[in-house]
Amino acid sequence: MLTNNTFKHGVHPPEHKDETNKSPIRQFPFAPLFILPVEMHIGAPAEILVRQGQEVSRGQVLAKAGGYVSVPIHAPVSGTIRSLGNVHTISGKMVQGIYIEPFPSSTQEVMEGTPVDVESANPEQILQAIQDAGIVGLGGAAFPTHVKLKVPDGKHCDTLLINGIECEPFLTTDHRVMLEQADDIFMGIRYLIKVTSAKRVIIGIEANKQDAAKHLAWHIPRGLPVEIKVVPVKYPQGSEKMLITSLLGHEVPSGGLPIDVGAVVVNVATTAEIGRLLPHGRGIQERVVTITGPAVKKKGNYLIPIGTPLRFVLEEVGVTDNISEVYMGGPMMGVAVSNLDISIVKGTSGIVVFGEEHVTKSEKIFPCIKCGACVDACPIFLNPSKLGILAKFEAYDKMAESYNLMDCFECGSCTYVCPSHIPLVQYFRLSKSIVRKRKTKEVTNA
Ligand code: SF4
Ligand code: SF4
């Protein structure tokens, strides 16, 4: 089960997992108002089907998928649509959204749909059911899972990798899911095998979650071709490409996808959600979120209805008076929240809150001293130092054409090690979005 195989480079930030990894998943209370942005996944926004004043049941479809790369949104509570209007999102952009006020005395029972039988359903029916359930990557990417699972013509999937790595500091969502939802995970794997035709399945887990590895190993159903592999702790081990290198020894080519080396990678919580929802024909209305950080009083793992306002979450768990930074996701790949009026969405794996005393305010940025630490840290062998200099000169096209900027998956390892405090990953995020916009313009003008 234990392997020493790992990818080259990477970093070892403090883990901070002990603060919540023993905390069982608890149901979070229902907020007085829910806010559901139609853009909580990658792809086309969902299209609203309800109107102001309409009464809805928990699990009902409120907005349908806006295209193939899109998913519907289900009601997280039974209640009344208070209004439709613009809502805040983590990106700072205002998008269309739905406000729901729950019925005060409802039992909040979830609507049952049409079950999808794993034995008799064909791959296309399962893919459709995954889209209909509104499932996206719960590790944080929020990419529609049915699109990711569709094996393109001419390619084939040898290995299904279930990603239970969770290398992001502070977060223990996937850890608790592996300890508490083993049956759902294995049911999800049955659906995924049918869709991908994978011959073998590997669940990858980091060595700081040995209890989860043992628990899952004990519960593998007879006849299911599943192996558990435990890899050394190193960030960003949980990224798809790193996991493939560590477990399969293959390098995904630049600009390529896991399927190019015969693999499909699915997050473990997403797998559990497939196994939990499809047998009931239900849609996703809640998810497990780690709420932690030094400024949080009641740290833990909570099952939180989608659309719960962040402000309500922080009130319920209690935070110190002097909060300074709130991250959605972890501190390495998460996003600093600039507005507490956003809500928990499908991609929210964690909320990490720091007080003023835990944050070094506006560290001075020094010039690059060519120490090479960022080059040694980058897991995909980019040259962050050179890319950083080019970003300062706004040489975005050169960054993309000569230095593989678009391969950067924004893991933040380079920023973490830089002694000059150069915000490299922030530069690269911005540079990538400029390159993408330019490309879209070129295609539109062509
Ligand atoms: S953020 Fe990009 S450039 Fe920096 S280490 Fe990660 S992949 Fe490499
Ligand atoms: S780590 Fe920072 S200072 Fe060192 S080479 Fe990279 S960008 Fe320059």
Condensed to tens digits (0 to 9), the pLDDT of residues 403-439 reads 999 999 999 999 999 999 999 999 999 999 999 998 8
Of all protein residues, the one whose alpha carbon is nearest to atom 1 of ligand 2 is 418
Of all protein residues, the one whose alpha carbon is nearest to atom 8 of ligand 2 is 368
Of all protein residues, the one whose alpha carbon is nearest to atom 2 of ligand 1 is 408
Report which bound ligand comes closest to the CA of 403: 1
424 CA: nearest ligand 1 atom: 4
Report pLDDT digits (tens) over 216-242: 999 999 999 999 999 999 999 999 999
Greatest Cα pair distance, the chain, in angstroms, is: 63
pLDDT higher than 70, residue 362 = no
Mutate to test the pocket of ligand 2, among 381, 390, 418 (most ligand atoms within 8 A of CB): 418
pLDDT higher than 80, residue 23 = yes
Of all protein residues, the one whose alpha carbon is nearest to atom 3 of ligand 2 is 368
Q: Using DSSP bridges, classify how beta strands 350-355 and 200-206 pair: parallel, antiparallel or unpaired.
A: unpaired
pTM recorded for the entire structure? 0.95
pLDDT higher than 80, residue 444 = no
At 105 the pLDDT is 80
Ligand 2 in reach of 159 Cβ (< 6 A)? no
CA of 319 to the centre of ligand 1 (A): 32
Q: Which residues pair with 290 in a beta bridge?
A: 301, 350
DSSP designation for 405: G
At 106 the pLDDT is 78
Report which bound ligand comes closest to the CA of 423: 2
- Do residues 171 and 16 touch, judged by C-beta distance below 8 A? no
388 CA: nearest ligand 2 atom: 7
Report pLDDT digits (tens) over 49-58: 999 999 999 9
Cβ-count burial of 382 within 10 angstroms (0-12 exposed, 13-18 middle, 19+ buried)?
buried
Mutate to test the pocket of ligand 2, among 365, 376, 403, 420 (most ligand atoms within 8 A of CB): 420
Q: Using DSSP bridges, classify how beta strands 300-305 and 26-27 pair: parallel, antiparallel or unpaired.
A: parallel
384 CA: nearest ligand 1 atom: 3
At 327 the pLDDT is 95
Mean pLDDT of the chain: 94
CATH class of 123-280: alpha beta
For residue 111, what pLDDT band results from cuts at 50, 70 and 90?
Answer: confident
C-alpha span between 42 and 411 (Å, rounded): 18
Q: Where, residue-wise, is CATH 3.40.50.11540 in the chain? A: 123-280
Task: Show contacts of 392-400: CB within 8 Å, 24+ apart.
Answer: 392/427, 396/431, 396/434, 396/435, 396/438, 397/435, 397/438, 399/431, 399/435, 400/431, 400/435
Tell me the average pLDDT across 369-396. Answer: 96
At 91 the pLDDT is 87
Mutate to test the pocket of ligand 2, among 371, 387, 421 (most ligand atoms within 8 A of CB): 371
Report pLDDT digits (tens) over 298-352: 999 999 999 999 999 999 999 998 889 999 999 999 999 989 999 999 999 999 9
Report which bound ligand comes closest to the CA of 374: 2
Report pLDDT digits (tens) over 196-223: 999 999 999 999 999 999 999 999 999 9
Round the CA-based radius of gyration of the chain to a whole number and report it: 22
Residues with CB under 6 A from ligand 1: 377-378, 380, 382, 384, 408-414, 424-425, 428
- What's the token pair of residue 166? 């969770």
Of all protein residues, the one whose alpha carbon is nearest to atom 7 of ligand 1 is 408
Mutate to test the pocket of ligand 2, among 9, 366, 374 (most ligand atoms within 8 A of CB): 374
407 CA: nearest ligand 1 atom: 7
Report which bound ligand comes closest to the CA of 392: 2
Of all protein residues, the one whose alpha carbon is nearest to atom 6 of ligand 1 is 411
Report which bound ligand comes closest to the CA of 427: 1
CA of 246 to the centre of ligand 2 (A): 26
Q: From its phi and psi, is residue 140 left (phi > 0), alpha (psi between -120 and 50) or beta?
A: left
For residue 141, what pLDDT band results from cuts at 50, 70 and 90?
Answer: confident
Of all protein residues, the one whose alpha carbon is nearest to atom 5 of ligand 1 is 378
Report pLDDT digits (tens) over 152-204: 999 999 999 999 999 999 999 999 999 999 999 999 999 999 999 999 999 99
CA of 17 to the centre of ligand 1 (A): 23
At 146 the pLDDT is 98
C-alpha span between 263 and 155 (Å, rounded): 10
Of all protein residues, the one whose alpha carbon is nearest to atom 7 of ligand 2 is 385
